[in-house]
Amino acid sequence: MTDSTRAIVIHETGGPEKLVWESVPVAPPGPGEVVIRHTAIGVNFHDTYVRSGLYQTLRLPGIPGIEAAGIVERIGDGVAGLAVGDRITYIDASYGAYAERRVLPARLAVRLPPGVADDVAASLTIKGFTASMLLQSVHRVRAGETVLIHAAAGGVGQPLVRWAKHLGATVIATAGSAEKLAIARDCGADHVINYREENFVDRVAQLTAGRGVDVAYDSVGASTFLGSLQCLAFQGLLVNFGQSSGPVAPFSPSLLATRSNGVVRPMVFHYIRDRGALDAMAAQVFGAIEKGILRAPTITRLPLAQASEAHGLLESRRSTGPIVLEP
């Protein structure tokens, strides 16, 4: 029997006010599906791109949200390895996480170890997986390398700094306020730069005695991209993995020839396409949480019904660390 739940629905793209709290149906789980009762829903910058229309990847009207933790409530036919009551987390590139309850393909669900609380999972599934992808797959960071990390006090930035330090890198971190620089330092950054007040290209040149960094992790996009390129050492790599300040403008590949540099634009979804890769990534990230390599961050919590406030906060540049919606 179909029942109902409450969810955030987008009918048309636009500002945070386009996130509407309403009642929606929840179908019974089909074969290979489970019904999840969410306990914590991760807010990601991706959600703001979907809401604004920058990404036209959610069919409207639709329920946004790509990550949540919760409890298995019902199980469809043919589902193995999950039981009613299991605590799980997931990433779903097809959306639907901004809801109290939902039907989910069971193949996406990852059971949570006892040492990882639901809100920590909702803070560090996408963000921790992204850090793992960036530091171990896109470029394998080795001890002694120097890395530049922008927006270092953000949801992805904090685990990225912590993990890069654990791997033995020297971390140069940028952030937009004194409070954020203190957070980046607390995560282990060796050098911090307020890139709203200082020229980060000049500071990186000074800090590396003109050598540049081995890798620049740039999620800020428009306002930092060309500067990040200028910060690279010979054969250094620019990893552009986001666009918090806006999309990167077209550029000439000949810019890369100055120091034989590379540019890559990875998406975490592509690194967990098959179940083996998903399980390996989950084991790595949840293992890092249990070992204390990734510490439970300070979480900003808001009721799910106030998702528009969460988006406003993230886009205003006032947030630090992860934001979690509570159903």
Ligand X SMILES: NC(=O)c1ccc[n+]([C@@H]2O[C@H](COP(=O)([O-])OP(=O)(O)OC[C@H]3O[C@@H](n4cnc5c(N)ncnc54)[C@H](OP(=O)(O)O)[C@@H]3O)[C@@H](O)[C@H]2O)c1
Note whether 39 binds ligand X by CB under 6 A. no
Residues 283-312 within binding reach of ligand X (CB under 6 A) = none
Residue of 273, 253, 276 whose CA lies nearest to 264: 253
Note whether 225 binds ligand X by CB under 6 A. no
Residue of 214, 208, 178 whose CA lies nearest to 190: 208
Contact between 131 and 156 under an 8 Å Cβ cutoff? The reply is: yes
Binding span for ligand X by CB under 6 A among 39-47, 61-69, 101-109, 290-298: 39-47
Binding span for ligand X by CB under 6 A among 28-36, 64-72, 87-95, 123-131: 123-131
**Looking at 243, 261, 300, 308, which residue binds ligand X (CB under 6 A)?**
243
In the complex, least distance from residue 117 CB atom to ligand X, rounded to whole angstroms: 19
Residues 184-223 within binding reach of ligand X (CB under 6 A) = 219-220, 223
Residue of 138, 154, 74 whose CA lies nearest to 106: 74
Note whether 242 binds ligand X by CB under 6 A. yes
Give me the DSSP letters along 209-262: TT--EEEEEE-S-TTTHHHHHHTEEEEEEEEE---TT-PPPP--GGGGGGGT-E
Note whether 317 binds ligand X by CB under 6 A. yes
In the complex, least distance from residue 49 CB atom to ligand X, rounded to whole angstroms: 7
Residue of 236, 208, 31, 274 whose CA lies nearest to 141: 236
Straight-line distance from the first to the last Cα atom of the chain, in angstroms, rounded to the nearest whole number: 23
In the complex, least distance from residue 200 CB atom to ligand X, rounded to whole angstroms: 11
What residue ranges bind ligand X (CB under 6 A)?
44-46, 126-127, 130, 151, 153-157, 175-176, 180, 219-220, 223, 241-245, 266-268, 314-315, 317, 319
